[in-house]
Structure 1
Amino acid sequence: MSAPTADRKATGVFSPGRAQIRQRTLRTDNWLKSPILIDLGFAAFIIYATVRAFMQDHYYVEKYGYLTPFYSPCVSTGCVPEASHFGQFLPDVWWLPYAAVSLPFLLLFRLTCYYYRGAYYRTVWQAPTACAVAEPHAKYTGETRFPLIIQNTHRYFFYIAVLISLVNTYDAIIAFSKPDGGFGVGLGNLILVVNVVLLWTYTVSCHSCRHVAGGRLKHFSKHPVRYWMWTQISKLNVRHKQYAWITLGTLMLTDFYVMALAAGWFSDPRLIG
């Protein structure tokens, strides 16, 4: 027998039947620590990435062919020709980043990521801020209305992220061939390669990738290859949270290193060539 309509409406933390206490929660631990640290981490990346994206300078090291991932692919008419591996077709205006064809999709891929959405739901959206802490929202509509309904497009941004990861891989590979000819390896090459490997790890460990590999299969035994792929991706998926944070750090580190070299702050230590 189903509950009366009145009882169904009177549910949640704002229901009349909830214990009337003055405290927001009876938790005695430092439950605010985690959301504060998460917000600080997000803020640091957003501020740094925004400033760098609109600087439109110090993004390419001509001597070694290093291109920062924040400017890849560099398709603005203001880009250095050597850094424009895929042509130049965007106007050179201050309000349009040189890599405007990729940055919005990468941002949406991260925003709709299952880990990231869980993180900022608890911190920015506060739904709820922490376990056993009442959220400030009187109603809950889930991901059925704007803006949260956009979360359902995550799988499509995953496909685009794969293409952009291929572009970043291409950038890292051709950087081994010096613009003046010959083969060379420097610290910058190693940083670019490590960054690309970690980006691939984060992208492949995505829940959408796991679904692409083994979703909708009724009999794993009939699809041994896809089952193997699904198994390997599932192992990576367990650490998707760690990869999400690590790649934020490596993206900033890689960009900062390329920027410092392009600005002439120091020279790139060379191992070969």
Structure 2
Amino acid sequence: MMFPPVNKRSSIGKHIVDSLHQTILSGGIKRGEKLPGQRELAQQFGASLTSVREAISVLAATGVISVTPGRGTIVCGIGDAEPSFDGWLGVASDDAEMNDFLEVRELLETHIVRKIARDSKAKDFGAITEALKRLQRKRKNPKAYLVEDLAFHRLLASYSGNKILEKLLLAIQTPMRSQISHSITRTMKKAGDLDTSWVLHRDVVDALVAGNADDAAKAIRAMVNRARLYHGAQEESAASGDTAVSEPGLKGRSRHPSRRASPRKGN
């Protein structure tokens, strides 16, 4: 099976997802068969390995394929009907798409934390507090912080107890990685460390441990609003006035992690 090169004007990740998905749907690659290797796919599509891996991640998140170490990428089958989820993934191509992504991220993650907070008495928050501590230790290392930041949000989704919410968060990992990386870069440039970012994550955990759904959702919105200030049309105004990016939701609270202990383990 050969795949046509990517149209460079389109979203590369989405193009690869759509092409592979259509090939599987039409029977070009049948259930139980292996996809070509990632390097071969990259060569056929005329795309980077990163773009191919992004597409594979989206298809795996939707259950179309299964990636197994040592076995490769196996087609799981999607039946005769078109699935309702289109597997959009790639990095936001412009300011409008970034705003759309941030709107979806806010809706998704506020719902996740509200769901966790409502059931807080039945949860052990040990894993989340440990993730928060790892994030704190990496706050002067942007690359390591990015890895821990993404892991923190995936862990939140797993605490929701809803597998579909987990898959939805996984499906937006690429634009989320791009957005968080940009915010980290801007924060480091302004402050020289990521203390203020860490405080927002701490606020989420504090609220979850306390079972306060409103405060947990407020902390997520503060993260997203901070990202909005760092992107698009608002970026210029944010850059021109440091006080405009004074960390939404932090009024009256310490921005220094060292001044406050990490939240305790929950029940």
Using structure 2 for the length normalisation, give the TM-score: 0.29
Larger % of helix: which? Answer: 2
